[in-house]
Amino acid sequence: MPTLLEPTFDWLDRHLLRSPAARIWIARRLSPRFIDRLQRAKFHALVRYAARHSKFYRDSFRERGIDPRRIYSHADLGDFFTTAQDLKTRPIEDFLCAPGECGFETTGTSMGVNKRVYFSYQEMFDYGRDGAAGLYNLGLRREDVVLDGFDYSFWNAPFTAYYSLIPMRCLHIIGGFIEPKELYDRMKVYRPNVLMGVPTHMVRVTEVAEKEGIWPVKFMLLGGENLSERTRAYIESVWQGSRVFLCYGQTENFGMSGIECPQKGGYHVSGLSLVSEIIDPDENGYGEMAYTTLNRSVMPLIRYRSADITRWASNGDCDCGLKVMPRIDKVVGRTDELINCSMGNISPFWFEEILRDVPAVSNDWQVIVRRGERDDAVEIHLELNNGASHEGIRQQVLANIESRFPDCWRYYTKGFFALDIQFHPRHSLAGDGRKLRRLIDARRDAWSQ
Ligand SMILES: [Zn+2]
């Protein structure tokens, strides 16, 4: 049954809760029970709206015998999900409930078709208010100077930053994804004390700053790809006194699935604009995240499989301004990046852990799994920092596998897989691509030859 809760809250949200400080003040006082009730009301309204206006949802619900009038939660949808495959194979018009005003594409690693997602300006403003609350929670204030180095080509990360900064009203300098030395030289005059960008680019900018000098930076907010703890520690060590935070998002969700807690214990996800779920968690709680976008009217996604693997964060309760919002742990990989091989069910997270304290190699690395003579052959490609000893690194990598992944070590000592560590000069692995594909399963190619 429709209630007044959802339209009333939306009105309050847009008109009275525009300032980030007010949003955090209110967020601190919301009860989990209220959030749950609001989520159910919004979810119910959204499912009915999508069934009326989107061909994809109308057809899918009809085929599965789902009656939108009876749906209040993900559980009510049984085994129905929206998948990346749906976005790739169906025309975008099937998903649209209203005309789009801004269109973006996913930067995904899979070949061929990019997923397209459309938004209205109103939706981007709405996301921006949540983003601003997240930034305020990390310490951003009106008097700060922000510089962003995002690439504008087809993806929405820079617009996520842009709309999140509008309610903050601080000075925002748009540097863009330009050559790191040029970005450093040009931003220097503004003395930005908050930096935003993608990890691989900001690492390069940090390398320049390490040589040429730093200024006080309050924090950095990085997103668009994963950041290993060793990279985070490196950036923080150069920009002394700065803290590096991550946001987690996808183009499908305007890059706004979650923002890191100031205590770094995972990402807070907005319970007011998102219903989130971890599908089929394993014994450690890890599973694929699925979500529904509650505040969208152009192209809402219902129970969308994100392909990102994470779990609910459990490491103690935080006391930040977003403490009532659910928190997810670091994303350990994507379902399409997990490779099941004789080394184990490996993910990029494994190699981040293995290389975490190996300072002689750079942050660009790649792992290729090939079909060996009998079992799999795993190649780890590393970039050497400055003429470090190959043998020393090899020993350190093996020692880390032994201490951090004992099962994997057992398989190795029994000869279940071959391990080949190959060394390359700096900056040779990433090439021109924005994202270095961390894990490559080359066995499939071998089969098809
Ligand atoms: Zn927190």
Task: Identify the sign of the CA torsion 19, 25, 27, 30.
Answer: negative
Ligand 1 centroid to residue 152 C-alpha, Å? 30
The CA distance from 108 to 263, in Å, is: 29
Domain boundary (334, 351, 369) is at 334
Same domain? 307 vs 434:
no
Ligand 1 centroid to residue 26 C-alpha, Å? 15
Same domain? 204 vs 141:
yes
Q: Which helix (H) or strand (E) holds 79?
A: none
Same domain? 175 vs 189:
yes
Ligand 1 centroid to residue 274 C-alpha, Å? 17
Rg (CA), the chain: 23
Ligand 1 centroid to residue 407 C-alpha, Å? 34
Its domain, for residue 190, covers 1-334
The CA distance from 259 to 269, in Å, is: 7
CA atoms within 13 A on the CB side of 438: 22
At residue 119, the 3 state secondary structure works out as strand
- Note the pLDDT of residue 112: 62
The residue to which tokens 């994100």 are assigned: 306
The CA distance from 449 to 217, in Å, is: 52
Ligand 1 centroid to residue 309 C-alpha, Å? 20
Same domain? 330 vs 344:
no
The CA distance from 291 to 240, in Å, is: 37
Ligand 1 centroid to residue 323 C-alpha, Å? 5
Domain boundary (334, 361, 384) is at 334
The residue to which tokens 């995002």 are assigned: 150
- Residue 277 sits in a domain whose CATH number is 3.40.50.12780
The residue to which tokens 């660009």 are assigned: 364
Closest among 320, 420, 424, 415 to 377, alpha carbons compared = 420
Ligand 1 centroid to residue 268 C-alpha, Å? 7
Ligand 1 centroid to residue 137 C-alpha, Å? 8
Helices (H) and strands (E) in the chain, counts: 14, 20
Two tokens, residue 397: 């990598």
**Contact (Cβ atoms closer than 8 angstroms) between residue 201 and residue 184:** no
Same domain? 299 vs 375:
no
Ligand 1 centroid to residue 270 C-alpha, Å? 12
* Length, in residues, of the chain: 449
* Mode of pairing for the β-strands spanning 219-222 and 194-197: parallel
Domain boundary (282, 315, 334) is at 334
The CA distance from 251 to 265, in Å, is: 23
Same domain? 176 vs 225:
yes
Ligand 1 centroid to residue 138 C-alpha, Å? 9
Ligand 1 centroid to residue 318 C-alpha, Å? 5
The CA distance from 311 to 285, in Å, is: 5
- Residue 132 identity (one-letter amino acid): A
At residue 205, the 3 state secondary structure works out as helix
Residues 6+ positions from 335 with CB-CB distance below 8 Å = 288, 307, 308, 309
CA atoms within 13 A on the CB side of 349: 18
**Contact (Cβ atoms closer than 8 angstroms) between residue 160 and residue 131:** yes
Same domain? 176 vs 206:
yes
In order along its 449 residues, the chain shows pLDDT tens digits of: 456 777 777 777 777 777 899 889 888 898 989 999 999 999 999 999 999 999 999 999 999 999 999 999 999 999 999 999 999 999 999 999 999 999 999 865 444 678 899 999 999 999 999 999 999 999 999 999 999 999 888 889 999 999 999 999 999 999 999 999 999 999 999 999 999 999 888 999 999 999 999 999 999 999 887 777 888 999 999 999 999 999 988 889 998 789 999 988 889 998 889 999 999 998 788 899 999 999 999 999 999 999 998 999 975 678 899 988 989 998 887 787 778 788 887 888 889 889 988 988 888 899 999 987 777 899 999 998 877 889 999 999 999 999 998 888 988 988 888 899 999 988 888 765 556 788 888 876 544 33
Q: Which helix (H) or strand (E) holds 164?
A: helix 157-165
Same domain? 308 vs 357:
no
Ligand 1 centroid to residue 351 C-alpha, Å? 27
Ligand 1 centroid to residue 326 C-alpha, Å? 9
DSSP letter, residue 138: H
- Note the pLDDT of residue 3: 64
* Mode of pairing for the β-strands spanning 219-222 and 243-248: parallel
Same domain? 305 vs 369:
no
**Torsion on CA atoms 346, 352, 356, 358, rounded to nearest 10:** 80
Ligand 1 centroid to residue 388 C-alpha, Å? 40
The CA distance from 265 to 329, in Å, is: 7
Ligand 1 centroid to residue 301 C-alpha, Å? 26
- Residue 362 sits in a domain whose CATH number is 3.30.300.30
Concatenate the DSSP letters of all residues of 290-303 into one string.
Answer: EEEETT-SSS--SS
Ligand 1 centroid to residue 325 C-alpha, Å? 8
CB-count exposure of residue 352 (10 Å: 0-12, 13-18, 19+): buried
Ligand 1 centroid to residue 61 C-alpha, Å? 37
Ligand 1 centroid to residue 172 C-alpha, Å? 25
Same domain? 236 vs 293:
yes
Ligand 1 centroid to residue 389 C-alpha, Å? 42
The CA distance from 399 to 176, in Å, is: 41
Ligand 1 centroid to residue 267 C-alpha, Å? 8
Same domain? 128 vs 257:
yes
Closest among 370, 247, 268 to 325, alpha carbons compared = 268
Same domain? 198 vs 280:
yes
Ligand 1 centroid to residue 70 C-alpha, Å? 34
Question: How many domains, the chain?
Answer: 2
Ligand 1 centroid to residue 36 C-alpha, Å? 19
At residue 69, the 3 state secondary structure works out as helix
DSSP letter, residue 304: E
Ligand 1 centroid to residue 262 C-alpha, Å? 6
Q: pTM for the complete prediction?
A: 0.81
Ligand 1 centroid to residue 322 C-alpha, Å? 5
- Note the pLDDT of residue 109: 45
At residue 366, the 3 state secondary structure works out as strand
Question: Buried b / exposed e across 117-150, counting CB within 10 Å, b at 16+?
Answer: bbbbeebbebbbbbbbbbbbbbebeeebbbbbbb
